[in-house]
Amino acid sequence: MDIIISITTVFISSVIELWLSIPLGLAFGLNPFLIVAVSALGSVFAVFVVATFGESIRKWIIKKRYGEGNNIRKGSIYEVWNKYGTVGLGLLSPLLFGAPLGTAIGIALGARKNNLIIWMALGIILWSAMLTAAGTLGVMSFQTVTK
Protein backbone atom coordinates (compact mmCIF):
# COMPACT_ATOMS: atom_id res chain seq x y z
CA MET A 1 0.00 0.00 0.00
CA ASP A 2 1.21 3.47 -0.81
CA ILE A 3 2.80 5.16 2.21
CA ILE A 4 0.80 8.38 1.74
CA ILE A 5 -2.46 6.42 1.84
CA SER A 6 -1.26 4.53 4.92
CA ILE A 7 -0.30 7.72 6.75
CA THR A 8 -3.57 9.43 5.77
CA THR A 9 -5.57 6.42 6.97
CA VAL A 10 -3.75 6.39 10.31
CA PHE A 11 -4.28 10.15 10.71
CA ILE A 12 -8.01 10.01 9.92
CA SER A 13 -8.54 7.01 12.18
CA SER A 14 -6.75 8.76 15.04
CA VAL A 15 -9.08 11.73 14.70
CA ILE A 16 -11.87 9.29 15.43
CA GLU A 17 -10.12 7.00 17.95
CA LEU A 18 -6.50 6.62 19.01
CA TRP A 19 -6.98 2.91 19.76
CA LEU A 20 -7.84 2.31 16.11
CA SER A 21 -4.96 4.19 14.51
CA ILE A 22 -2.06 2.41 16.18
CA PRO A 23 -3.00 -1.15 15.13
CA LEU A 24 -3.68 0.18 11.63
CA GLY A 25 -0.22 1.74 11.50
CA LEU A 26 1.33 -1.52 12.65
CA ALA A 27 -0.72 -3.47 10.10
CA PHE A 28 0.49 -1.14 7.35
CA GLY A 29 4.08 -1.75 8.46
CA LEU A 30 4.81 1.88 9.25
CA ASN A 31 7.78 2.89 11.36
CA PRO A 32 6.74 3.04 15.05
CA PHE A 33 8.00 6.62 15.41
CA LEU A 34 5.89 7.62 12.41
CA ILE A 35 2.87 5.86 13.94
CA VAL A 36 3.31 7.80 17.20
CA ALA A 37 3.70 11.10 15.38
CA VAL A 38 0.79 10.69 12.96
CA SER A 39 -1.64 9.19 15.47
CA ALA A 40 -0.81 11.87 18.05
CA LEU A 41 -1.25 14.63 15.47
CA GLY A 42 -4.63 13.29 14.42
CA SER A 43 -5.90 13.04 17.98
CA VAL A 44 -4.56 16.48 18.91
CA PHE A 45 -6.29 17.86 15.82
CA ALA A 46 -9.58 16.35 17.03
CA VAL A 47 -9.05 17.85 20.50
CA PHE A 48 -8.37 21.26 18.98
CA VAL A 49 -11.53 21.09 16.86
CA VAL A 50 -13.69 20.02 19.80
CA ALA A 51 -12.15 22.69 22.06
CA THR A 52 -12.67 25.37 19.40
CA PHE A 53 -16.35 24.58 19.09
CA GLY A 54 -16.57 23.69 22.76
CA GLU A 55 -19.02 26.27 24.00
CA SER A 56 -21.80 25.08 21.73
CA ILE A 57 -20.93 21.49 22.66
CA ARG A 58 -21.01 22.47 26.35
CA LYS A 59 -24.47 23.96 26.02
CA TRP A 60 -25.74 20.91 24.11
CA ILE A 61 -24.33 18.39 26.65
CA ILE A 62 -25.70 20.29 29.63
CA LYS A 63 -29.12 20.65 28.00
CA LYS A 64 -29.19 17.00 26.89
CA ARG A 65 -27.96 15.51 30.15
CA TYR A 66 -29.22 17.90 32.78
CA GLY A 67 -32.12 19.72 31.14
CA GLU A 68 -32.80 23.43 31.18
CA GLY A 69 -33.05 24.04 34.92
CA ASN A 70 -30.53 21.57 36.34
CA ASN A 71 -26.93 22.20 37.26
CA ILE A 72 -24.02 20.09 36.01
CA ARG A 73 -22.26 20.58 39.34
CA LYS A 74 -24.66 18.14 41.05
CA GLY A 75 -23.59 14.91 39.30
CA SER A 76 -21.05 12.23 40.06
CA ILE A 77 -18.98 13.25 37.03
CA TYR A 78 -18.43 16.63 38.65
CA GLU A 79 -17.21 14.94 41.85
CA VAL A 80 -14.59 13.03 39.84
CA TRP A 81 -13.72 16.28 38.05
CA ASN A 82 -13.10 18.00 41.39
CA LYS A 83 -10.79 15.20 42.46
CA TYR A 84 -8.62 14.89 39.33
CA GLY A 85 -9.21 18.09 37.34
CA THR A 86 -7.84 18.96 33.94
CA VAL A 87 -4.59 17.07 34.49
CA GLY A 88 -6.34 13.79 35.29
CA LEU A 89 -8.80 14.20 32.46
CA GLY A 90 -6.05 15.03 29.98
CA LEU A 91 -3.87 12.11 30.96
CA LEU A 92 -6.58 9.47 31.28
CA SER A 93 -9.27 10.24 28.72
CA PRO A 94 -7.24 9.34 25.59
CA LEU A 95 -6.95 5.84 27.03
CA LEU A 96 -10.36 5.46 28.68
CA PHE A 97 -12.93 7.04 26.38
CA GLY A 98 -11.11 8.93 23.67
CA ALA A 99 -9.60 12.37 23.40
CA PRO A 100 -12.47 14.12 21.58
CA LEU A 101 -15.04 12.92 24.11
CA GLY A 102 -12.70 13.75 26.99
CA THR A 103 -12.29 17.25 25.59
CA ALA A 104 -16.05 17.67 25.28
CA ILE A 105 -16.47 16.52 28.88
CA GLY A 106 -13.77 18.93 30.04
CA ILE A 107 -15.38 21.83 28.20
CA ALA A 108 -18.78 20.85 29.61
CA LEU A 109 -17.34 20.88 33.12
CA GLY A 110 -15.87 24.33 32.61
CA ALA A 111 -12.19 23.64 31.94
CA ARG A 112 -10.13 26.45 30.48
CA LYS A 113 -9.63 25.74 26.79
CA ASN A 114 -5.86 26.28 26.55
CA ASN A 115 -5.12 24.33 29.70
CA LEU A 116 -7.31 21.45 28.52
CA ILE A 117 -5.66 21.33 25.08
CA ILE A 118 -2.18 21.19 26.63
CA TRP A 119 -3.00 18.34 29.03
CA MET A 120 -4.96 16.42 26.41
CA ALA A 121 -2.02 16.73 24.00
CA LEU A 122 0.39 15.45 26.65
CA GLY A 123 -1.92 12.52 27.42
CA ILE A 124 -2.29 11.74 23.72
CA ILE A 125 1.46 11.75 23.16
CA LEU A 126 2.03 9.60 26.23
CA TRP A 127 -0.56 6.99 25.28
CA SER A 128 0.40 7.03 21.60
CA ALA A 129 3.99 6.22 22.51
CA MET A 130 3.07 3.58 25.08
CA LEU A 131 0.46 1.83 22.94
CA THR A 132 2.72 1.87 19.87
CA ALA A 133 5.61 0.46 21.91
CA ALA A 134 3.38 -2.28 23.30
CA GLY A 135 2.02 -3.09 19.85
CA THR A 136 5.47 -3.11 18.27
CA LEU A 137 6.84 -5.40 20.97
CA GLY A 138 3.84 -7.68 20.52
CA VAL A 139 4.38 -7.89 16.77
CA MET A 140 8.11 -8.52 17.25
CA SER A 141 7.39 -11.27 19.80
CA PHE A 142 4.90 -12.90 17.49
CA GLN A 143 7.37 -12.79 14.60
CA THR A 144 10.07 -14.32 16.80
CA VAL A 145 7.81 -17.16 17.93
CA THR A 146 6.60 -17.98 14.42
CA LYS A 147 10.09 -18.16 12.86
Domain boundaries along the sequence of the chain = 3-145
φ, ψ of residue 2 to 5 degrees: the values are -60, 140
pLDDT at 71: 59
Choose among 7, 34, 46: nearest CA to 128. 34
- For residue 11, the model assigns a pLDDT of 97
pLDDT digits (tens, 9 = 90+) for 110-119: 889 999 999 9
pTM of the shown model: 0.84
Q: Residue 111's closest CA among 83, 79, 89?
A: 89
Q: Which position has the higher pLDDT, 66 or 40?
A: 40
What is the pLDDT averaged over residues 48-74?
A: 71
Instruction: Summarize pLDDT for 3-58 with one digit per residue, the tens.
Output: 999 999 999 999 999 989 999 999 999 999 999 999 999 999 999 999 988 777 66
CA dist 134 and 131 (Å) reads 5
Positive or negative, the CA dihedral 17, 129, 86, 112 is: negative
